[in-house]
Amino acid sequence: MAEVACHQVCQARVRAICSVDKSRRGISGQRSRTRTVRTTPLPRYNVCMVRTLSGIQPTGNLHIGNYLGALVNWVKLQEEYDAYFCVVDMHALTQRPDPEVLRQAVRELAIGVLASGVDPERATLFVQSQVPQHAELAWVMMCLTPLGDLNRMTQFKDKSTQQPDNINAGLFTYPVLQTADIALYRPEAVPVGEDQDQHLELARETIRRFNFTYGGDVFPEPKTVKSLAPRVMGLDGESKMSKSKNNEIGLFETEAETWKKLKGAKTDPARERRSDPGTPEVCNIYSYHGFFSTDEQRAELAEGCRKATLGCVDCKKMLGTNMESVKGPIRERAADLRSKPGELDQILAAGAEKARRTAEETMVMVRDRIGLAGGK
């Protein structure tokens, strides 16, 4: 009886999400004109759990910025959502990586996701290129995205600066593929860091434009789920943690490798000598303690910093020890997965199969609404 009640409540919620107010205004602000719209039945999925989708690009070794900004969040999301997590290898093509390097990076990223606690029994983990519907929907969405919207994307300017000899069209249309990644699984919530807010808003606008043009019950408009660490600064304290800027702490690095990097990391500039009092709130190293240390340890460090009873080396040593208590078990689980390549292949194959089924359900609806072959 409880299952029936749950199903009825969830069905009502989904109908509410997907229903269309006939008098609502469209993208242009005008009342929607009379049109004949197909009413393809929506595919059924696990309606008693809100669906979410998130992806991560295999462009280098995982670091604690990835772990804190995405993977910690993913582990929590899989308990609360019908979660789809994707290794977005097609996005990585904008950097023209060596094919073998890309294949290995995909596997290492998948290993890192699993070693960090994502459970393939609770979440769907897959590789983007194994689901061809991503590229198909990206073209549909590209035809609905005004050039002006893409011109306003600040990340295109940033990425063009980083690779001035390879400013390709993929860098410019990257947000449209990201829109397709999201829309394909019809999620109601999308976890993002602060640097992705602009892309998610573009996705929402494009989804609204599709629904207005072809019928308003195809795609739900996803809401943002903020990460606990939307932006993790690098060891230089000046920019976001990134392997390309050589300011990262690798997730798989040993305790000795981590300590070598921490020793030279930037701290409070006011503490030139150990006897100089400091302000922990402006210290980049102290900000990491917010994720790896207890409340008591942070209070002790803050007081020691202000009174100059603890030095920056003391602060860094405690951080290194606490980081290792998190990274050590992850490194061990990753080593175990590397020793069982067949098991990783099976996990990714099963995830891709499920993702393709879900994606094809969406594309049948899309093709039907826009008039392409392959709809119902």
CA–CA distance, 175 with 36 (Å, rounded to integer): 30
**Residue matched to tokens 């094919």:** 99
Question: Please, are residues 231 and 238 in contact by the beta-carbon 8 Å criterion?
Answer: no
Question: Please, are residues 156 and 147 in contact by the beta-carbon 8 Å criterion?
Answer: no
Residue 10, Cβ density class (10 Å: 0-12 exposed, 13-18 middle, ≥19 buried): middle
> What tokens does 367 get?
């093709």
Cα 153 to the center of its chain, rounded Å: 18
Q: Give the catalytic positions in this structure.
A: 159, 240, 243
Question: Please, are residues 255 and 328 in contact by the beta-carbon 8 Å criterion?
Answer: yes
Concatenating the DSSP letter of every residue in 61-73 gives --BHHHIIIIIHH
Q: Would you state the torsion angle of the CA atoms of residues 150, 153, 157, 163, taken in this order, to the nearest 10 degrees?
A: -70
CA–CA distance, 85 with 124 (Å, rounded to integer): 6
Concatenating the DSSP letter of every residue in 312-374 gives HHHHHHHHHHHHHHHHHHHHHHHHHHHT-HHHHHHHHHHHHHHHHHHHHHHHHHHHHHHT-TT
Question: Please, are residues 51 and 186 in contact by the beta-carbon 8 Å criterion?
Answer: yes
Task: Please state the length of the chain.
Answer: 376
Q: Which of 76, 161, 169 is nearest to 119 (CA)?
A: 76
Helix 295-307 × helix 312-338 angle, to 10°: 150
Concatenating the DSSP letter of every residue in 224-238 gives EEE-SSS--B-TTSS
